């Protein structure tokens, strides 16, 4: 399993470095990671689904977490939405705090 994790980190970093539009879209990133993880002989849907079911492909959550951690550690890999989301974080935290006090 460690091999899959290391391979996933490398694929995610390569993709978000070369293709900035993937930095803000986890669904497109997921599709690209899975596409790179499947060999041509395994491209039929049944085989593809078996790979997912057997844990031979990285999970969508693993891919999302890799992207998130890479962007946290490498500001140059952040997408256009990153700053907006993090600026809103303060406001959302305050709203949640206000809701708790009501």
Domain with 22 in it: 2-101
**Which one has a higher pLDDT value, 63 or 40?**
63
Q: What is the pLDDT of residue 31?
A: 86
Report the C-alpha gap between 37 and 8 in whole angstroms: 9
Task: Give the global pTM.
Answer: 0.61
Report the C-alpha gap between 82 and 75 in whole angstroms: 9
For residue 98, pLDDT over 80 is answered with yes
Query: Domains in the chain: how many in total?
Result: 1
């Amino acid at each position: 399993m460690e091999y899959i994790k290391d391979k996933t980190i490398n694929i995610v970093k390569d993709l978000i470095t070369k293709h900035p539009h993937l930095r803000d879209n986890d669904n497109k990133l997921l599709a690209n990671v899975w596409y790179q993880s499947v060999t041509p002989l395994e491209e039929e849907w049944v085989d593809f689904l078996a790979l997912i079911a057997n844990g031979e492909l990285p999970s969508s959550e693993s891919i999302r977490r890799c992207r998130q951690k890479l962007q946290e550690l490498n500001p140059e890999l952040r997408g256009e939405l990153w700053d907006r989301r993090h600026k809103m974080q303060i406001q959302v935290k305050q709203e949640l705090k206000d809701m708790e006090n009501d």
